[in-house]
Structure 1
């Protein structure tokens, strides 16, 4: 994996001056001004553009689902939802079609054999991870393979002209993995990291918390971030980690979705701290631990819509805001161009 360098601030003053010279009071476009500045720094230009915005969804299954205590939905739903993505029937399909955002679907490790499909990228590492209640979810080699596969997917997407990419996921049981990763990377107790996932009741959340604490008691907190991923992660989460790192290395704008994608980012951040310079945080999920994750990363989300669906839906909703930020920077008249009087002091 390439080394990710912090954003160069060489153009920061010129970008800020261009923003401030637009026909508006200073700072009056709020977060759009911050995104415009970030886009210019990522692309190292005074005229950033958003080309072929894309959402990439990584899907995978989790061995922990066999316990029957972490999710109210059966594991078969992962494959069923992948078919729904391929048929165009999911929320993310609707949003991407409405917003004119490209959509890429990746089988990272679903416990199902899919027939070849033009929309499906087959990167399956295995038919789901192992059960981390008893053994690590995957080997270190499988984790590296998954991260490399995520990087290759992003390289291909970028080669097709995309410079702004958002990420989503699908996997029954993956909020449990994300909760464990969150606990390991933040040091917070697992009770602060476990939420409802796809709709667990109060009793189910309690059972889920007890089970995840058992897993932590068995394996502890591995020292290396990649070993944390291998122990508690999913193939889709490991691929997301590699994909996020590769996108930043390619100087793409990286749009982070909700709880699970942020868990993958936390692993990426431990490996390469500068990765967050390239990230736009789409929204604050209604999943319990997500706000604490964002606070740990010192990140401010663009939206707070009480969403907790996953699939990259929050990232998709943020894409028009990012496009508007680049558009005002390029197309809005300056005081001089519009012959409008600027402030006198």
Structure 2
């Protein structure tokens, strides 16, 4: 089902109408978990994770056999404010690296059996510098949302979304500040490695963007339009489509989570099908996860982006689902239960 939309209002309506998990499958998975050959709770959070997956996959024996990794790339006008340690040309170069299989996300996707694709969104035409104008017009943000929406394989059993875009921790910080409040300095981080002066420029850019667009920031989808970027919008579109198709999502780092937070703020519950793959070294990420009530599966100091932390967490997902779906029950094994 494609559920085409051509405006932010139509996209918002699709979000509001998205289905919930399969309650019967969830209940059946809870019952199965209680019968497996282990003491209750012995597999800790793996048990919770498997039961959660069951509800979204609609079966008491969930699988992770067809994971999909989507990487979206975009360029940002706000790099003119000196917010990145790298030039925008690196985005194009890294897209080529993804397509030739040379990036970290390629290796992690391969390691965990995921199908991976990269989607470059008008790299030759960066978004507007949000300190002087809205980052995107409505038609642009809708096109980016649709790119993500249409990239999702409805037959996947789990989705990871990642990004590449020089300067994109700055729009992510601006989105987080607009959605959850607080001083810009509390949301910005060093990203690709800016020095103290670069960090101050990031905070200043975020503050100016928030001030310029203040009248529109009560609407989360306008936050995405005014302060975001094409790859952030594409991730939001993909995560929203996954919800409509009941495909569980493993969230990546700060940029992915900021993108996803737009959905949650636009329609409460929009991220019920999402689990946090990891908490990154980017300072605002842990704060953002806490605001969303998402406990990360991994904490390894990663800060690469690309979907790499979420792809690595697929290993945890695979382990959890293999145990839940493959273990024998006490009755099947002929083992005396408690």
Partner of 1:281: 276
1:162 aligns with 2:156: yes
Structure 2: 5+ residue stretches without partners: 1-10
| 2:196 equivalent among 178, 181, 202 | 202
Contact residue 143 and residue 226 of structure 1 kept, 8 A: no
Structure 2 distance, partners of 1:97, 1:11, is 30
Which deviations, in whole Å up to 9, do the C-alpha atoms of 1:280-337 show, x marking residues without a partner?
2100011010001000001101000000100000111011211222211221011111
Distance 2:199 2:177 in 1: 16
Q: Does 1:180 align with 2:193?
A: no
The corresponding residue for 1:39 is 53
Paired residues of 1:182 and 1:188 also in contact (CA < 8 A): no
Q: CA deviation at 1:30?
A: 1.2
1:139 aligns with: 137
CA distance in 2, matches of 1:129, 1:332: 50
State the distance in 1 between where 2:38 and 2:23 align.
24
Q: Give, in whole Å, the separation in 1 of the partners of 2:59 and 2:25.
A: 7
1:10-25 correspondence runs (5 A): 10-25=24-39
**Structure 2 partner of 1:149:** 147
Aligned with residue 218 of structure 1, among 212, 215, 227: 212
2:19–2:243 contact (8 Å) kept in structure 1: no
TM-score by length of 2: 0.92
> C-alpha separation between the residues in 2 aligned to 1:109 and 1:226?
20
**Residue aligning to 2:8:** none
Secondary structure in structure 1 of the residue aligned to 2:159? strand
In 2, the alpha carbon distance for the partners of 1:340 and 1:306 equals 42
Equivalent residue in structure 1 for 2:95, among 82, 87, 93: 82
Tell me how far apart the structure 2 counterparts of residues 214 and 271 of structure 1 sit (CA, whole Å).
23
Q: Identify unmatched segments of 5+ residues in structure 1.
A: 112-126
Query: Once the 2 structures are TM-superposed, how far is the Cα of residue 140 of structure 1 from its aligned partner?
Result: 1.7
SS at match of 1:106: strand
Aligned to 1:317: 312
Are 2:74 and 2:120, in contact at CA under 8 Å, matched by a contact in 1? yes
Q: What is the aligned-residue RMSD (CA, Å)?
A: 1.3
1:108 aligns with 2:106: no
Deviations 1:24-61 (A, max 9, x none): 11111111111111111012211222231111000000
CA contact (8 A) 1:70 1:176 kept: yes
Task: Tell whether the 8 Å contact from 1:109 to 1:129 is kept in structure 2 after alignment.
Answer: no
Secondary structure (helix, strand or coil) at the match of 1:270 reads helix
The reply on whether 1:57 has 2:55 as its aligned counterpart is no
Whether contact under 8 Å (1:238, 1:264) holds in the other structure is yes
| TM-score of the aligned structures, taking structure 1 as reference length | 0.90
- Contact map agreement 1:61 1:129 (CA 8 A) in 2: yes
